[in-house]
């Protein structure tokens, strides 16, 4: 299998899997227990907290372990709305992940207001529109997807933070696709809350973290036994958390040797090969700052759903938009926000590289993409010729 669907999830790193085995066999204690097994589990958990904190250059007391970005996002948006009833406005972008979109709908249903800031044809946030949207004293939170899951386009978060803080608003970053893909340094950017998921960077599914800056308040969303210093109750998923910690450490090691630059180089070579054979191909976000691993392309006249099936038969895993939507024919709201029509969206494929992807795999995948697109075009007797 040539796996090019890393934005949906990644393969757990074999070293991570090896490292967690003892927590499934011998170190099965509850991290809140005072005996040896509990203390060992606690030690693993606290080491993981340091590893995650180090990856983002924050302090350990600012990290709360959760079940993933979705939970982290829900807890921040819910907390902020209830904490600041006098500030009813939430601002998001038009290209958020469903986790934020659904929380924004709840925000409205609960009596708040939501403004959705537009992006341009390259998926870039309209900062002027954001500035106009902010109502000082009335804006509680600006929640932005840091790196887009469908296109990889990166939000200029430092600028967003500056505009928000000038108006007294808080900032939440949905960093599910950013953390582990590019270096993140929160010591030089005053983001208030940040959500991440371990499985996007070779950890396990169902584990993540929420960063809460020590400058800002927070109250828990999940109540119970008071774990995570009362910030997130429920017996900790020690195995997943230990995996997250090691995955974070390994991501930091990869960044130290510039692996993100190599990934970008591989992705660019892949896109060049495709474009050379299929000149009508369009790369989404090409003029924007993009994640190094993401290639979202439109092959005009080619049925993306058919391509996903054909490529799967050839052992290539990719996606026709975001994974959450691949089962439905509803066109991507992200592409819609970038000004593309349904037909365009239904001819769009997303290839996303992981830390494991090799050049040979990409070149082989490109050959199959080119031949499969040609095959589908012939079948449909399309006028599009490559």
Q: Which residues are catalytic?
A: 324
The greatest distance separating any two alpha carbons of the chain, rounded to the nearest whole angstrom, comes to 72
Q: How far is the CB of 99 from ligand PLP (least distance, A)?
A: 5
Specify the residue, 174 or 192, whose C-beta has the smaller distance to ligand PLP: 174
Residues found near ligand PLP in the complex (CB under 6 A):
68-70, 97, 99, 145, 149, 174, 176-177, 197
**What phi and psi, each to the nearest 5 degrees, are found at residue 80?**
-60, -40
Alpha-carbon distances, residue 288 vs 152, 200, 266 (angstroms)? 9, 22, 18
Q: Which CB sits closer to ligand PLP, 75 or 177?
A: 177
The pair phi, psi for residue 337, each rounded to 5°, is -65, -25
Rounded Cα distance, 269 and 357, in Å: 13
Q: What backbone phi and psi angles, to 5 degrees, belong to 335?
A: -65, -35
Q: For the residues of 88-119, what is the DSSP string, one character each?
A: -EEEEETT--HHHHHHHHHHHHTT-EEEEE-B
For residue 200, the Cα-to-chain-centroid distance in whole angstroms is: 7
Cβ closer to ligand PLP: 73 or 274? 73
- Mapped onto helix, strand or coil, the DSSP state of residue 193 is strand
- Residue 241 corresponds to which tokens in the numbers above? 């958390």
Length of the chain: 386
Q: Which is nearer to ligand PLP, 29 or 292 (CB)?
A: 292
Minimum CB–partner distance for residue 121 and ligand PLP (Å): 20
DSSP 8-state symbol, 9: -
Whole-number minimum distance, CB 74 to ligand PLP, in Å?
Answer: 9
Alpha helices in the chain (DSSP H): 14-25, 36-56, 69-83, 98-109, 127-133, 157-166, 238-256, 259-277, 304-313, 333-337, 342-345, 359-379
CB of 296 to ligand PLP, least distance (A): 13
Q: Which is nearer to ligand PLP, 206 or 301 (CB)?
A: 206
196-200, long-range: CB within 8 Å, 24+ apart, which pairs? 196/69, 196/72, 197/68, 197/69, 197/70, 198/68, 198/240, 198/243, 198/244, 198/247, 199/9, 199/10, 199/12, 199/68, 200/6, 200/7, 200/9, 200/10, 200/176
- When the beta carbons of 29 and 68 are compared against ligand PLP, the nearer one is 68
Taking the complex as a whole, the smallest distance from the CB of residue 174 to ligand PLP amounts, in Å, to: 5
Closer to ligand PLP by Cβ: residue 99 or 191: 99
* Residue 38 beta carbon to ligand PLP: minimum distance, rounded to whole angstroms: 28
Taking the C-alpha atoms of residue 378 and residue 167, their distance in angstroms, rounded to an integer, is: 56
Q: Min. distance of Cβ 20 from ligand PLP in angstroms?
A: 18
């Amino acid at each position: 299998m040539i796996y090019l669907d890393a934005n949906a999830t990644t393969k757990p790193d074999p070293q991570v899997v090896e490292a967690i085995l003892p927590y499934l066999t011998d170190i099965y204690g509850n991290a809140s227990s005072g005996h040896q097994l509990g203390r060992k589990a606690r030690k693993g958990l606290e080491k993981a907290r340091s590893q995650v904190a180090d990856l983002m250059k924050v302090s350990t007391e600012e990290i709360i372990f959760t079940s993933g970005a979705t939970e982290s996002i829900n807890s921040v948006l819910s907390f902020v709305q209830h904490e600041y009833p006098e500030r009813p406005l939430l601002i998001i972008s038009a290209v958020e992940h469903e986790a934020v979109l659904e929380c924004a709908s709840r925000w409205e249903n609960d009596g708040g207001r939501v403004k959705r800031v537009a992006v341009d044809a390259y998926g870039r946030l309209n900062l002027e529109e954001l500035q106009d949207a902010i109502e000082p004293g009335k804006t509680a939170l600006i929640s932005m997807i840091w790196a887009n899951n469908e296109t990889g386009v990166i939000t200029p978060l430092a600028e967003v933070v500056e505009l928000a803080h000038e108006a007294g608003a808080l900032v939440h970053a949905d960093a599910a696709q950013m953390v582990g893909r590019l270096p993140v340094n929160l010591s030089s950017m005053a983001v208030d809350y940040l959500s991440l998921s371990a499985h996007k960077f070779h950890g396990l599914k169902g584990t993540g973290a929420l960063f809460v800056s020590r400058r800002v308040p927070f109250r828990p969303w999940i109540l119970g036994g008071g774990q995570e210093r009362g910030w997130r109750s429920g017996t900790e998923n020690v195995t997943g958390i230990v995996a997250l910690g090691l995955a974070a450490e390994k991501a930091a090691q990869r960044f130290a040797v510039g692996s993100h630059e190599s990934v970008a180089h591989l992705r660019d070579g892949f896109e060049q090969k495709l474009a050379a054979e299929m000149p009508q191909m369009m790369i989404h976000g090409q003029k924007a700052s993009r994640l190094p691993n993401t290639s979202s392309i439109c092959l005009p006249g080619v049925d993306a759903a058919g391509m996903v099936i054909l490529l799967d038969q050839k052992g290539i895993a990719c996606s026709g938009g975001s994974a959450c939507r691949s089962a439905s024919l509803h066109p991507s709201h992200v592409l819609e926000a970038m000004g593309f029509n349904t037909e365009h969206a239904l001819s769009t494929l997303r290839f996303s590289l992981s830390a494991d992807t090799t050049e040979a795999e990409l070149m082989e995948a490109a050959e199959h993409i080119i031949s499969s697109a040609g095959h589908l075009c012939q079948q449909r007797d399309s006028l599009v010729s490559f």
